[in-house]
Amino acid sequence: MVVKFWGQEFKVNVILGCLGGFLIAIVSSMFGFGGGPFMVPLMTVGLGLPMYVVVGSSLLAIFFNTMMGTMRHYQFGNFDLVFFAIMFPAAILGGFIGPQIAKRVSPIAMKRIAVAGLLLLALNLLGVF
Amino acid sequence: MKKGTMEMKYYLWLLIMIIIAIGISFPPNDLWAQKALDARLGPEGKAGQVLAAKAGEPTGPTAMPVTIQVDKTILNNGGTITVSGHAAPGQPVYLEIWSEKKVRASRFDADVDKNTGKRPYVLCMTDEMPAYYQIYVPQDQKGILDRVKKEGPGWSLTKVLKDLGAEAVCSVPLQAKIDQYQASLMGSIIGSRGELLPIMDKKENARRSMQLLKARARKPEKLIVSAIEMAPDGAYHAQVKIPDGLVPGRYSIVAIAGGDPSRSQPVHIENQIHFPNIYLANAGTSLNLIGPFFLSLGIAIFGVLMGAGGGFMLNPLLVSLWPLPHTIVAGTVMPTVLFSQGTGIYNYSKIKFINWKLGSAIGLAMVAGGFLGPKLTELITLDQFKFVFGWILIILASLMFWQTTPRYLSKNKKEQAILKEFKKKAEETMKKK
C-alpha cells in the first residue's frame, strides 16, 4: 500500500501492519490493556511512517478495540455515570485541542512526546511508579 | 480516487453506528435477571430477609449489654469521631461501621478452583454492598494485621476475621443479596453476563460476600483497623477516622463484644459533602470534580498528541490520587478515552493527519486479536507480562528516539522532506501574521 503525505510517498507493508496489530491486540487484551501505546512504535519504527500520519491512524486503529472494551465494562457494571460526566467534556476538549497543537509542532517534537509517553508507561509497568 | 476515499469514510461511520446500536440494544442483563429472580423467590420474599442477622439482643445468660456512644454526629466530608462505651470486662470489643448508601460490587471468579481444578467463570454481583465498610478491632491485635499485610494480594478475609476472633462481627455485608451468573469465556469477551444461577445457601452467600468485600477494598488495612483501646473494667474507646472523599449520608456504628457476641444498639452519624464535591453513585465515593476534570483534560491532550488513548496514564493516576475503586475507574476511563480518540480522529482527519485505509485495516486486525487475548491469560503471569513489556517499550522508545536524531534524518530523505515542508508551512503562517 502506498501512503501519500505532503507530497511524499511511503510504501507500507500492510500485511506486516495487520499482523503486528493482531499480535499486539492479543497480548495487550490478555490483561485488559489498551493497545494504543504499542501501536505508535509499530507504525513509526515498524512501518516507517512519518509521525503526522501515525497519530491519526493509530487513534483509528485502537478506536474499535476501545469501543469493544467499553461495551464489555458497561455490561459488567463498572461504569459510573457521574464520574463519566465529569471527564467527558475534558475528553472532547482534548480531542479538539490535541490536533491544533499537533499542527503547530514539528514532527521531531511530536515523536519525542510519544517517546516520553512510552517511557512513562514502561516505568509504570516495571514498577518504578 | 478522492471520491473513493470519501465513500470509505462514510461506510466507516456507518459501521461504527451499527456497532454502537447493537451494543445499546442488548440491555444490561439487570432487567431480565431481576425478573427471573423475583419469579424464583415467589411469595417467600427477598433472599436478604432470610439471611438477616439479629441485632441488639444480648445472647447467653451471663451476657452484659454492650453500650456505645459518640462525641459528634455530624461530619463535614469526613472527620474523626471518638467512640466509647462499656462491655463485659475482659472481652475484646469490635466496631462494625457501615454507610447506609449501598453500591454495586462485582467479582468475576476466574481463578482455578482448588477442588475441581477448573476455572468457574462465575460473575458474582450485588447491588447492596455498603459503600463504606470498616471493622475496628482492639489495638493489641495489630500484630495479626501486620502479618496479614505481608501476605500480599492472596489474603483471605474469612481467615483474617477468624484469627482476630471477629467472625461474628461482619454482618451487614452478609445481608446483601448476591446474584451469581455462569459466564463463558467468549461471553466475558463481548460482555454478556451469562445465565443466572440458583440462589446460594447462607454459607456460600457469606463466602461470596467476603470475596466481594475484599475485591472492593483490595488491601486488608482498608477494611480492618486496629484502634480500640480497652480498659480492664470493660470500658473501651476508639478514634474512628472517616476519610474525606467518601460516601455522604447516614453511617451506623455498632459495637460487638467478642467471646459471646452481643451487639450494642447502633449509633448514627451523618456525613455531609458540599459542592464542588459530588457523590459518584456507582463508585461509592465522592470527589472534588475540578481535579479529575483537569487531569483528564491534560491526559486527553497528551494522548491525542501521542497517537494513543491516554487510558494507560489516566487509570493509574486516578486510582492513586483519589480513593476510587479501580474497577469503576477502568470502566469509566475507557468510554472517556473512546470519546477523546473519536474527536481526535475527527479533528485529525480535518487536517489530514490520518490514513483511513491503513488505520481501519490494522483496527480490524486488532479486534480479531482482542477476541483471542483473554483466552491466553493462563500462559503468563501479570508480573512476567509487566516485566517483559516494560523492557520492550523501553527498547521501542529508544528506537523511536533514534529516529529523531540528526544522524538518522540525514539518511532518510523522506523524513527530511516532511520536516522541510513543516518548516515551510510554519514560515508561511508567520508571514501571514
Task: Indicate the range of A103-112, B22-31, B130-139 predicted with least confidence.
Answer: B22-31
Residues of chain B found within 8 Å of residue A73, distances taken between Cβ atoms: 191, 330-331, 334
Indicate the DSSP class of residue B139. Answer: G
pLDDT for B35: 45
Gap between the Cα atoms of B85 and B66, Å rounded = 7
Query: In the prediction, which pLDDT does A45 show?
Result: 82
Assess whether pLDDT exceeds 60 at residue B71. Answer: yes
pLDDT at B2 over 70: no
Task: Quote the minimal CA–CA distance from A112 to chain B in Å.
Answer: 6
Q: Which residues of A touch B304 (CB under 8 A)?
A: 55, 59, 94-95, 97-99, 102
Contacts of A108 in chain B (CB under 8 A): 404, 419
Work out the minimum CA distance from B151 to partner chain A, whole angstroms.
19
Q: Quick count: other Cβ atoms within 10 Å of Cβ B420?
A: 11
Interface contact B292-A86, CB threshold 8 A: yes
What end-to-end distance do the CA atoms of chain A give, in Å?
41
Q: What is the dihedral of CA B350, B353, B355, B356, to 10 degrees?
A: -30
Grouping H, G, I as helix, E, B as strand and the rest as coil, residue B324 is coil
Smallest CA–CA distance from A18 into chain B, residue: B362
What pLDDT was estimated at residue B12? 64
Mean predicted confidence (pLDDT) in A48-75: 83
- Helical H segments across chain A, by residue range: 14-29, 36-41, 51-75, 81-104, 107-125
Buried b (16+ CB within 10 A) or exposed e, B6-41: eeeeeebeeeeeeeeeebeeeeebeeebeeeeeeee
Cβ–Cβ < 8 Å for A118, A40: yes
Packing angle of the helix pair A107-125, B311-321 (nearest 10 deg): 50
CA distance B94 to A90: 45
Q: Which residue has the cell 469514510?
A: B9
Cis before B276 (ω within 30): yes
Q: Tell how far CA B422 is from the center of its chain.
A: 45
Query: B297-307, pLDDT tens digit by residue?
Result: 988 998 888 88
Query: Quick one: how far is CA A43 from the chain centroid?
Result: 10
> Rounded distance, CA B384 to CA B329, Å?
24
Name the DSSP letter for residue B403: T
Q: Where are the beta strands (DSSP E) in B78-222?
A: 79-86, 93-99, 102-109, 122-130, 133-138, 178-182, 195-196
Contact assignment for B343 to A96 by CB distance below 8 Å: yes
Question: What φ, ψ does residue A32 adopt, rounded to 5°?
Answer: 80, 15
Across the interface, whether the CB atoms of B354 and A50 are under 8 A apart is answered: no
Amino acid identity, position B433: K
Nearest neighbour of B305 by CB, restricted to A6, A101, A126: A101
pLDDT mean over B308-329:
81
Compare all CA atoms of chain B with the CA of A113 and give the residue at the minimum distance. Answer: B306
Q: pLDDT by residue (tens digit) across B187-203?
A: 666 666 677 888 778 78
Cα separation, B176 vs B351, in Å, equals: 54
3-state secondary structure of B250: strand
C-alpha angle A80-B374-A63 in degrees, rounded to nearest 5 = 55
CB contact under 8 A, A108 and B280: no
Whole-number Å distance between alpha carbons of B157 and B267: 25
Chain B CB contacts of A70 under 8 Å are 334-335, 338
Quote the DSSP letter at residue B8: H
* Chain A partners within 8 Å of B397 (Cβ): 41, 115, 118-119, 122
CA of B7 vs chain A CAs: smallest distance (Å): 17
The one-character DSSP state at B246 is B
What cell does A30 get? 490478555
Tell whether the model's pLDDT for residue B24 goes beyond 60: no
For A51, A105, B132, B406, B423, the CA distances from A108, given in Å and listed in that order, are 8, 8, 49, 10, 12
Tell me, rounded to whole angstroms, the distance of Cα A93 from its chain centroid: 17
Q: Angle formed by the axes of helices B356-372 and A51-75, to 10°?
A: 40
Place of cell 459542592: B275
Q: Regarding predicted confidence, which is higher, B26 or B99? A: B99
Is the pLDDT at B38 greater than 50? The verdict is no
ipTM of the complex: 0.89
Residue B8's pLDDT is what? 57
Indicate if the alpha-carbon torsion angle B189, B177, B96, B274 is positive or negative. Answer: positive
Is 60 exceeded by the pLDDT of residue B286? Answer: yes
How does the average pLDDT of chain B come out, rounded?
Answer: 76
Give contacts of A98 with chain B, Cβ < 8 Å.
Answer: 300-305, 340, 344, 347
Separation in Å, CA of B393 to nearest CA in chain A: 6
CB contact under 8 A, A114 and B307: yes
Q: How high is the pLDDT of residue B56?
A: 41
Q: Does the pLDDT value for residue B77 go beyond 50? A: yes
Q: Tell me which residue in B302, B316, B418 faces A107 most closely, judged by beta carbons.
A: B418
Chain B nearest C-alpha distance from A47 (Å): 11
Pick the range with the lowest mean pLDDT from A41-45, A64-68, B179-183.
Answer: B179-183
Q: Is B77 left (phi over 0), alpha (psi -120 to 50) or beta?
A: left
Out of B188, B328, B414, closest to residue A10 by CB: B414
The pLDDT, as a whole number, for residue B20 is 62
Which among B332, B48, B99 is positioned nearest to B202, based on CA atoms? B48
In angstroms, rounded to a whole number, what is the distance separating the alpha carbons of residues B137 and B429?
A: 69
pLDDT tens digits, one per residue of B189-248: 666 667 788 877 878 888 888 888 888 887 888 888 888 888 888 888 888 888 877 888
Is there a contact between A13 and B356 (Cβ–Cβ < 8 Å)? no
Smallest CA–CA distance, residue B152 to chain A, in Å, is 16
Query: For chain B, what's the residue count?
Result: 433
The pTM score is 0.69
Tell me if B336 and A88 make a contact (CB, 8 A cut-off). yes
Taking only the tens place, the pLDDT of each residue in B371-391 is 877 777 667 777 777 788 888
3-state secondary structure of B354: coil
Question: What pLDDT, on the 0 to 100 scale, is given for residue B9?
Answer: 60
Measured between beta carbons, the chain B residues lying within 8 angstroms of A71 are: 23, 190-191
- Angstrom CA distances, B306 to B74, B121, B299, stand at 47, 36, 10
In whole angstroms, what is the distance from residue B75 CA to residue B77 CA?
6
B81 or B261, which is more confident?
Answer: B81
Q: What angle do CA B376, A60, A72 make, to 5 degrees?
A: 45
CB of B161 within 8 A of CB of B170?
yes
CA B424 to chain centre: 49
